[in-house]
Amino acid sequence: MSEKQDAGDLGSILGVFAHPDDEAYLAGALMARAVDAGRRVSLVTATRGELGFPADDPRPIERRMAIRETELECCLEVLGVAEHVWLDYPDGGCADVPVEEPVARLLPILEEVQPDTVLTFGPDGGTYHADHIATGRWATLACRAAARPPSLLYAANTPEWLERFLSVIDAGDVMMSAEAPITTPIDELAVRFVADDGLVDRKLAALLCQASQTERIVQQAGVEEYRELLRAEYYRAPTADDWPA
């Protein structure tokens, strides 16, 4: 692990995530740090997150989309991220999209942005969400095919962080499978960035913008514990077992 990565210096960043709020949870502090350092930071979001509401929510899909859009706009303004692209795939339907299509759409974005680092999901999607897994695969294949391949990193959790998280958050609210989440020992991470108080407060504010997704979790954990859970952002490098060519 380089000292720069450990300090959160990833150069210019392109985040490729599935739903509004993924970016803030997994990379909010890293993106804000990069913005503050004058780096280019861009984001691709695969869906508008229209299914991220209780099953009995009476609002139509279009209204839910509008809520998520407004929340993400607020979040990105707090983080200072000005470049954002929606892929507009259906929430819950990314795995059904022929992989060639989103990869073809990501390639010109990579060519235009020329990021030093792409941040995305690994093959477990973090929570086993099929949209997360599909989005990470698209980003991986696009990076492999790029004329100037960037450094590719997958969001990760350590066993210690996950234990703390699950001690205050109901796993059923975030995990899409009963299978135990995959973790990475801290000494095997490529990035183990710990945000200072200013950055973690900014990340917290960005996530509170997305109240439709965070309100219940904040109530479960309490705002102070929730804030501390946001402090660390961990990433690992791909391995030969991740989506073999």
- Phi (first) and psi of residue 242, to 5 degrees: -90, 105
Number of domains in the chain: 1
β-pair type (151-156, 232-236):
antiparallel
Q: How many residues does the chain have?
A: 245
Both tokens of 131, joined, read 């949209």
Residue 50: which CATH number? 3.40.50.10320
Structure confidence at residue 17 (pLDDT): 98
Q: What is the pLDDT of residues 81-110, one digit of tens each?
A: 999 999 999 999 999 999 999 999 999 999
In a domain, 184, yes or no: yes
Q: What is the pLDDT of residues 60-70, one digit of tens each?
A: 999 999 999 99
In a domain, 141, yes or no: yes
Cα–Cα distance, 173 to 163 (Å, whole number): 15
Residue range(s) defining the domain that contains residue 63: 3-236
Cα–Cα distance, 239 to 52 (Å, whole number): 31
In a domain, 196, yes or no: yes
Percent of the chain with pLDDT over 70: 99
Three-class secondary structure of residue 17 per DSSP? strand
In a domain, 241, yes or no: no
73-79 average pLDDT score: 98
Q: Cβ distance 131 to 90 under 8 Å?
A: no
In a domain, 244, yes or no: no
Three-class secondary structure of residue 82 per DSSP? coil
* Of the listed ranges 6-10, 50-54, 113-117, the one predicted with least confidence: 6-10
DSSP code, position 172: G
In a domain, 151, yes or no: yes
pLDDT class of 47 with cuts at 50, 70, 90: very high
Structure confidence at residue 175 (pLDDT): 81
- Whether residue 5 has pLDDT greater than 80: yes
- Phi (first) and psi of residue 31, to 5 degrees: -70, -45
- Whether residue 172 has pLDDT greater than 80: no
Structure confidence at residue 3 (pLDDT): 80
